């Protein structure tokens, strides 16, 4: 038996949604073939607000993206969003009488801290297109639930045994993150705080999983309670955690009339029996969250739904399998690079955008490579790969058209990092930034053919370029 009296009859490992999957809100829907669903934050990425589905709480597959049309939330465009912290913050996902409800907030950090609420609905959870345009409304604070508290983070209300339980995250999403709870007989209060608060935290411990909080509680078909939360695999040093805030799962013991008891978050967990163990029969064409990719963009295919853009993509920037080059993805250059400009005066939402396509890092160890064909014509044109955290923090390896010492435009290899403060775009103090390295590409012709590669091992990355000529390959 575990400390909370749960039978050690199931074992699984956290996180259940690896890679950047913060602020989870999860539900169980018996009417959808006893399936669990979790929604997570997306900020300025597009498509936005991914929802994942699982039958066994272990294998999670992308069910749909709530925001898949630029017209739903045009504010994501770079001309109206000013900082990388803007965008769609934490959501609440709920289900009632055949309809799914997704409540979120759009936040603008500058100038001033502003937020508006959005309500999306759908009757077909496995379809991007089925999600409605949002109903916009004024909201007093961030992270709206179906009920509101005062300056809350991730509030949720549950009705159980004649009580309304209000659970809320506190102390920010850093090392002091924690979850507390209160209850009342009436929805309007007065609320009694639990003397044992916080009910969930790894603050002031040496645990590998830190910043635990922003929790949501839900039941399975057997009536057992579970909880999801965000966490970082950073340890108490909280300095290196390249996959950001991830979603973790823990069992909850909630006896009649008593306060819920949440198991502390660890890497290996035991608790209630897992429902439908090892069941991966999830409908839809979404990818499983931890699956590897091998994509060659055949004719009549589309960009995978788990790939994301930073802000809204410029119209026409990406073409799958163009007639003149089947089994490829054609990228057109954007006037904006990965850093800096957030829009040009006079540009429409359709004109602005960065030609950047990404996927979440979901493994500590991985090898990513892309084959490119590149025929630059103007100075500064570049194609490359990036380890991208935000517009102001990224590591890039690119092939760029620059003047040689003789003044002739020549393809170069360029490695550089960008590390700026988000709001004032200044370099943070006491941080050593690697120097930029630029060298002439050792093999090139009118059309450059190369493989760009990123490898990750624990908390470090290595970036390589392999360029090809007839019978020769060089690093």
Domains of the chain: 22-137 (2.115.10.20), 152-262 (2.115.10.20), 307-472 (2.60.120.200)
Three-state DSSP at 216 gives: strand
Instruction: Please give the pLDDT value at position 163.
Output: 98
Confidence of residue 340 (pLDDT cuts 50, 70, 90): low
> pLDDT digit string (tens) for 95-128?
999 999 999 999 988 777 888 999 999 999 999 9
Confidence of residue 349 (pLDDT cuts 50, 70, 90): low
The mean per-residue pLDDT over the stretch 208-217 comes to 97
Give phi and psi for 74, each to the nearest 5: -65, -15
> pLDDT digit string (tens) for 251-273?
999 999 999 999 999 999 998 99
Three-state DSSP at 68 gives: coil
- DSSP state for residue 133 in the 8-state scheme: P
> pLDDT digit string (tens) for 22-44?
999 999 999 999 999 999 999 99
Measured CA to CA, the distance from residue 111 to residue 83 in angstroms comes to 10
pLDDT cut 90: percent of the chain above it: 70
Non-local (6+) Cβ contacts of 192 within 8 A are: 182, 183, 184
Helix (H) or strand (E) holding 101: strand 99-108
Instruction: Please give the pLDDT value at position 334.
Output: 87
Asked if 330 contacts 357 with a C-beta cutoff of 8 angstroms, the reply is no
Instruction: Please give the pLDDT value at position 3.
Output: 42
Residue 473 has pLDDT above 50, yes or no: no
Strands (E), 261-408: 261-262, 268-270, 308-310, 318-320, 329-331, 357-358, 366-374, 382-390, 393-403
- 271 burial (CB, 10 Å; 0-12 / 13-18 / 19+) is buried
Token readout for 64 is: 């749909």
Token readout for 77 is: 């465009």
Work out the number of other CB atoms within 10 angstroms of the CB of residue 58: 18
Asked if 55 contacts 64 with a C-beta cutoff of 8 angstroms, the reply is no
> pLDDT digit string (tens) for 451-462?
999 999 877 899
pLDDT cut 70: percent of the chain above it: 90
Asked if 352 contacts 336 with a C-beta cutoff of 8 angstroms, the reply is yes
The mean per-residue pLDDT over the stretch 365-371 comes to 95
Measured CA to CA, the distance from residue 207 to residue 198 in angstroms comes to 17
Asked if 169 contacts 181 with a C-beta cutoff of 8 angstroms, the reply is no
Tokens 């490829």 belong to: 328
Distance of CA 373 to the CA centre of its chain: 29
Confidence of residue 474 (pLDDT cuts 50, 70, 90): very low
Residue 467 has pLDDT above 80, yes or no: yes
Measured CA to CA, the distance from residue 182 to residue 259 in angstroms comes to 9
Bridge partners, 453 (sequence order): 369, 464
Bridge partners, 366 (sequence order): 456
Work out the number of other CB atoms within 10 angstroms of the CB of residue 238: 12
Nearest residue to 87 via CA among 128, 60, 118, 129: 118
Measured CA to CA, the distance from residue 223 to residue 25 in angstroms comes to 18
Residue 80 has pLDDT above 70, yes or no: no
Of 32-36, 127-131, 325-329, 342-346, minimum mean pLDDT range: 342-346
> pLDDT digit string (tens) for 129-162?
999 999 999 887 777 765 547 556 788 999 999 9
Distance of CA 354 to the CA centre of its chain: 18
Token readout for 73 is: 């939330």
Q: Is the peptide bond before 47 cis (omega within 30 degrees of 0)?
A: yes
Tokens 């004032």 belong to: 424
Confidence of residue 321 (pLDDT cuts 50, 70, 90): very high
Asked if 281 contacts 20 with a C-beta cutoff of 8 angstroms, the reply is no
Three-state DSSP at 289 gives: coil
Asked if 466 contacts 450 with a C-beta cutoff of 8 angstroms, the reply is yes
């Amino acid at each position: 038996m575990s400390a909370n009296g749960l039978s050690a009859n199931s074992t699984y490992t956290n996180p259940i949604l690896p890679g950047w999957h913060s602020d989870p809100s999860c539900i169980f829907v018996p009417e959808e073939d006893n399936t669990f669903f979790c929604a997570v934050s997306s900020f300025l990425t597009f498509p936005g607000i991914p929802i994942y589905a699982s039958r066994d709480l272990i294998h999670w597959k992308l069910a749909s993206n709530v925001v898949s049309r630029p017209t739903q939330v045009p504010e994501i465009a770079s001309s109206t969003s000013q900082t990388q912290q803007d965008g769609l913050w934490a959501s609440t996902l709920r289900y009632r009488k055949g309809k799914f409800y997704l409540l979120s907030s759009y936040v603008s950090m500058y100038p001033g801290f502003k937020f508006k609420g959005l309500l999306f609905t759908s009757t077909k959870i496995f379809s991007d297109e089925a999600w409605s345009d949002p109903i916009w409304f004024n909201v007093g604070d961030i992270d709206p639930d179906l009920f509101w508290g005062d300056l809350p983070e991730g509030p949720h209300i549950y009705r159980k045994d004649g009580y309304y339980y209000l659970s809320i995250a506190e102390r920010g999403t850093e090392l002091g993150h924690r979850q507390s709870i209160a209850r009342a007989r009436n929805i309007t209060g007065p609320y009694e705080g639990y003397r044992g608060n916080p009910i969930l935290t790894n603050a002031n411990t040496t645990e590998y999983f830190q910043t635990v909080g922003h929790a949501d509680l839900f039941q399975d078909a057997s009536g057992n309670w579970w909880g999801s939360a965000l966490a970082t695999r950073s340890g108490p040093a909280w300095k290196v955690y390249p996959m950001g805030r991830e979603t973790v799962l823990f069992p909850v013991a909630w006896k009649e009339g008593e306060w819920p008891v949440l198991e502390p978050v660890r890497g290996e967990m035991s608790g209630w029996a897992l429902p439908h163990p090892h069941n991966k029969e999830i409908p839809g064409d979404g990818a499983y969250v931890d699956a590897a990719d091998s994509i060659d963009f055949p004719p009549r295919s589309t960009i995978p739904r788990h790939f994301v853009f930073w802000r809204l993509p410029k119209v026409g920037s990406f073409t799958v399998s163009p007639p003149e080059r089947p089994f490829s993805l054609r990228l057109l250059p954007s006037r904006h690079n990965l850093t800096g400009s957030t829009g040009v005066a006079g540009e429409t939402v359709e004109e602005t955008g960065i030609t950047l396509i990404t996927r979440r890092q979901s493994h500590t160890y991985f090898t990513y490579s892309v084959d490119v064909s590149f025929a630059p014509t103007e100075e500064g044109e570049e194609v490359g790969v990036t380890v991208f955290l935000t517009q102001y923090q990224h590591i890039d390896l690119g092939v760029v058209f620059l003047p040689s010492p003789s003044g002739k435009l020549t393809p170069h290899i360029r490695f550089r990092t960008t590390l700026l403060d988000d709001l004032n775009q200044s370099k943070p103090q006491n941080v050593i930034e690697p120097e930029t390295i630029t060298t002439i590409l050792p093999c090139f012709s009118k059309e450059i053919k190369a493989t760009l590669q990123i490898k990750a091992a624990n908390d470090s990355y290595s970036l390589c370029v392999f360029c090809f000529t007839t019978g020769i390959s060089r690093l």
